[in-house]
Structure 1
Amino acid sequence: MQSGYFTMKPDKFIAIDFETANRNMGSACAIGIVVFQEGVLTYKESFLIRPHQSLYSFDPSFIDIHHIRPEDVVDQPEFDQLWPMIREIIKDGILVAHNASFDMTVLMSLITLYKLEYDHFSYFCSVKLSRSAFKFLPSHRLNVVAEHLGIHLDHHDAGSDAFACAQIVNQTMILTGIYHPWELCDALMVPIGSSWYL
């Protein structure tokens, strides 16, 4: 249930990254959250998540990617327990993720699954940002862009992935001299998505 709006801080962006237990978008088992405001890192954290009982099935191929096992999350909070804190963090900034269509779909799947109240949000994709800013790269996968920019990455660790995503945005701001994410997206013709359409 969408409940309201907040005055956006134009210079604040929040990078998020989810890992899932299986192919179901609601099976989140980890989240990374990184906040930059006025070019300064103000928050960096990651959390393991116990998937909802109906989705508590770990695909071995997914474990091979993120190395999160059922026993790692059995005593961790479910997403609805983390949501009040996450909602407060993201309420007044624009979200960004590397391959945002995946992470935003996971977020909305969780909101729907738990019937959570949420506030309208906007987001953009750092893959699309990278394609515009670094056209010469052979690929715009997170590890490739991170390596090009000298960003340390422990790939498929939610906290590390979110931090790398945030650093890609921040370093693109420095390279272009455009420090507001909305203006950056406009200048590089990166579309801004909306929770209305997820």
Structure 2
Amino acid sequence: MAAPSPPAGNDAAACDFVVIDVETACARVSSICQIGIVGFRDGGELFSYETLLDPCDDFHPINTRIHGIAAHHVIGRPTFAHVHAAIGRHLAGRVTVAHSSFDKGALAAACRVHALPEIATTWLDSVRVARRAWPDLPNHKLGGLARFLGIPHRHHDALSDARAAGWVMLHAIEQTGLSLADWLAPPVRRARAARAAPPAATGDSREPPAA
């Protein structure tokens, strides 16, 4: 089975960063059954990529209740091995944002299970970014951040989660005055950049795209 083609006009090479989110079929983090990737450039969305996957594993009822994906939804869908190259084209050599370390671990585990090379990318955790940008929020879960910032969001849909995490990242850049390069820098250098940044506006001034 051929891997799904990237959308027409996709120019991932020009991205400032990409965002990835995955859903899994069971407690094994390698059991990816949906993947969403969104690329951002110059403060807006550049491209999106989403597909259901046959996880080559069991579906647990708890997971299905969370994301709504069951075994019959992935009949005839590609496996992770089929889309590994497409994922690599989007992520390799770039900055990849994920909301928590779960997606990074799931991607690495799926590569091991399918005996494929890990994708070399620079990871940035948007949970850690959000904690720094809005330290007074009661929590920094993606759904709560989306509500706080006015970002359209459908939780536990991989593409919607990836898109929302990307907008969280853009809001955090605007809120703190720290650039993407600053967020990737060691903490001491990032702290110096924050002290030098001009006062930031409120976190919800940037307009995300309509749902």
Q: Decide: shared fold, TM above 0.5.
A: yes
Shift of 1:108: 0.4
Q: Which residue of 1 aligns with 2:182?
A: 183
Q: Per-residue deviation at 1:92? A: 2.7
- What do the CA deviations read for 1:147-172 (whole angstroms, capped 9, x no partner)? 11100110000010000000100111
| Matching residue of 1:42 | 46
2: distance between equivalents of 1:31 and 1:24? Answer: 15
Tell me, in whole angstroms, the C-alpha distance in 1 between the residues paired with 2:40 and 2:51: 18
Q: Which residue in 2 is equivalent to 1:30?
A: 34
Shift of 1:41: 1.4
Question: Normalising to structure 2: TM-score of the pair?
Answer: 0.78
Partner of 1:135: 135
Give the number of aligned pairs. Answer: 176
Give, in whole Å, the separation in 2 of the partners of 1:131 and 1:185.
15
Q: Aligned AA for 2:182?
A: E
* Residue of structure 2 in register with 1:72 after alignment: 73
Identity among equivalent positions (%) equals 31
Which structure 1 residue ranges, 5 or more long, are not aligned?
1-8, 190-198
More displaced 10-residue stretch of structure 1: 164-173 or 34-43: 34-43
Shift of 1:11: 6.6
SS at match of 1:167: helix
- What is the rounded CA distance, in whole Å, between the counterparts of 2:14 and 2:132 in structure 1? 21
**Structure 1 contact 133–188 (Cα < 8 Å) conserved:** no
Q: Does structure 2 retain, via aligned residues, the 8 Å contact 1:129–1:188?
A: no
Structure 2 counterpart of 1:17? 21
Q: 1:45 to 1:10 in 2, by over 3 A?
A: closer
1:25-174, aligned counterparts within 5 Å? Answer: 25-52=29-56, 55=57, 57-99=58-100, 101-174=101-174
Q: Is the 8 A contact 2:126 2:165 kept in 1?
A: yes
| C-alpha distance 116-83 of structure 1, shift in aligned 2 (>3 A) | same
Q: Which residue of 2 aligns with 1:196?
A: none
What amino acid maps onto 2:47 in structure 1? Answer: Y
Aligned mates of 1:184, 1:155 — CA distance in 2? 25
Residue 21 of structure 2 aligns to a residue whose secondary structure is strand
Contact kept, 8 Å, 1:132 with 1:188, in 2: the verdict is: no
Q: CA deviation at 1:188?
A: 6.1
Higher strand fraction (1 or 2): 1
Deviation at 1:14, TM superposition (A): 1.1
> Which residue type is aligned with residue 51 of structure 2?
F
Specify whether residues 146 and 188 from structure 1 end up closer, same or farther in structure 2 by C-alpha distance, changes over 3 A only. farther
Q: Which has the higher contact order (CA 8 A, sep 6+)?
A: 1
2: CA distance between counterparts of 1:103 and 1:85? 16
